[in-house]
Amino acid sequence: MSMNDWSRSSVVYGRKLFHSGMDGARAGRESFLQGEPIEPYLSESLRNAVVPAAIAALIGFLGSCSESRQRSAAKALGYGVLGGAIGFGAGMAWESRRLSASVASGAMKSIGKVRDEHWLEKNPIDYA
């Protein structure tokens, strides 16, 4: 097999994997949502992620105001914003973990099927 043929078959296989993963992710999302729209689920997750964001912002703000350091309002505000962003991201990840798991599971199942088909094409089984 020439380098050109090998690279072309690898690109085709990569596209198959990508498309099957996307289809599996969509199927996982639909399976989790069961026909309901995603907006109410995401808005509830956003509302629930505000509390961890506020707590992390407070921790970031207070952590920057120790007695041993020179106090700077800009630095304290920056640490508070950074803590809030980290807390918000962690809160969103936690609140949407079931949806994320369903999407990932659907994608992996679909990719696994394509990988198995590809392996069988490369390694045919002779039962005779």
pLDDT attached to residue 73: 81
Tens-digit pLDDT profile for residues 89-108: 999 999 999 999 999 999 99
- CA dist 53 and 84 (Å) reads 4
DSSP class per residue in 47-74: HHHHHHHHHHHHHHHHHT--TTS---HH
Percent of the chain scored above 70 by pLDDT?
94
Residue predicted with more confidence, 39 or 67? 39
Residue predicted with more confidence, 54 or 65? 54
pLDDT attached to residue 121: 86
pLDDT attached to residue 70: 66
Average model confidence (pLDDT) across the chain? 89
| pLDDT exceeds 60 at position 64 | yes
pLDDT attached to residue 76: 85
- CA dist 35 and 29 (Å) reads 9
pLDDT attached to residue 40: 92
| pLDDT exceeds 70 at position 69 | no
Predicted confidence band at 4 (pLDDT cuts at 50, 70, 90)? confident
